[in-house]
Amino acid sequence: MEVIIKPDPEAVSKEAAALFQRQLALKSTSVLGLATGSTPLGFYRELVRRHRDGHVDFAHATTFNLDEYVGLSGDHPMSYRAFMREHLFAQVNMRPDHVHLPDGQTEDIPVHCEDYEDEIRHAGGIDLQLLGIGSDGHIGFNEPSSSLSSRTRLKTLTPRTIADNARFFGSEADVPRHVITMGVGTIMEARQVIVLAMGAGKATAVAAMVEGAITASVPASILQMHPKCALIIDEAAATQLQRADYYRWVYDHKPHWQRP
């Protein structure tokens, strides 16, 4: 895994946006895996800016989001569909019929999850997947103890994730208990993965992900097995990494042709 430590969240967002810009420049029909939450907000702002400046074109791209709350319609302000519309899709030239998120109001969750997997497969698989990491080490909404080969399915949020996300809903009681999320196995099939993390609250999870044992107790740790995964973090999220200086050294000596 490549670990890139940037001075601040803004630099993290810019590095990630540069990687997405390069991906779309190399392959205009890229299939992008997208994430929601606080972490990618600056990244989406930067992508929109680059789109407005004429550097990023979404006309031929396809997107699949990681997850959605069960019970919320796409019009609910806290739904991830609404989040994506506000922060990216309404501001760039994405074709609405190329946008995919799980449907939180589906009547048959198992069938819908299988269909979601089929749609990813039929689109040719995900070229570049963006991820955040939960303070408990989750990716998507694959909470600790999730099968490391799981597929898209229903998950129950941990009380910790409900507490973490209560800030979006106003109170813990209003946070849905269930979600539909791509599985860990689904995420691992993406050809390239970029994980973003910022702030001291993520430092423990980041260290466990990068330098701990591979375990379902820290679902993000399976990314140690991914052949092309970059973790881009700020200094605050890097404080518990044992080999932080080595990661900086590697980045400083990265060959020119490997840089976005």
Q: Please give the positions annotated as active site.
A: 67, 136, 138, 143
For the CB of residue 241, give the shortest distance to ligand PGA in the complex, in Å.
Answer: 18
> What is the C-alpha separation between 39 and 45, in angstroms, rounded?
11
Of 55 and 178, nearer to ligand PGA (C-beta) is: 178
Nearest residue to 214 via CA among 203, 202, 206, 224: 224
Q: What is the DSSP string of 173-188?
A: GGS-SEEEE--HHHHH
225: Cα separation from own chain's centroid: 17
Q: What is the DSSP string of 49-62?
A: HHHHTTS---TT-E
Site for ligand PGA in 17-56 (CB under 6 A): 37-39
For the CB of residue 150, give the shortest distance to ligand PGA in the complex, in Å.
Answer: 16
Token digits for 158?
A: 């941990």
Q: Which one of 116-124, 129-137, 177-185, 204-212 is the stretch in contact with ligand PGA (CB under 6 A)? A: 129-137
Of 56 and 157, nearer to ligand PGA (C-beta) is: 157
Q: Does the footprint of ligand PGA cover residue 204 (CB under 6 A)?
A: no
> What is the C-alpha separation between 213 and 217, in angstroms, rounded?
10
> What is the C-alpha separation between 112 and 244, in angstroms, rounded?
42
Q: Which one of 16, 72, 113, 133 is in contact with ligand PGA (CB under 6 A)? A: 133
Of 201 and 260, nearer to ligand PGA (C-beta) is: 201
Of 14 and 202, nearer to ligand PGA (C-beta) is: 202
Which parts of this chain interact with ligand PGA (CB under 6 A)? 37-39, 132-134, 138
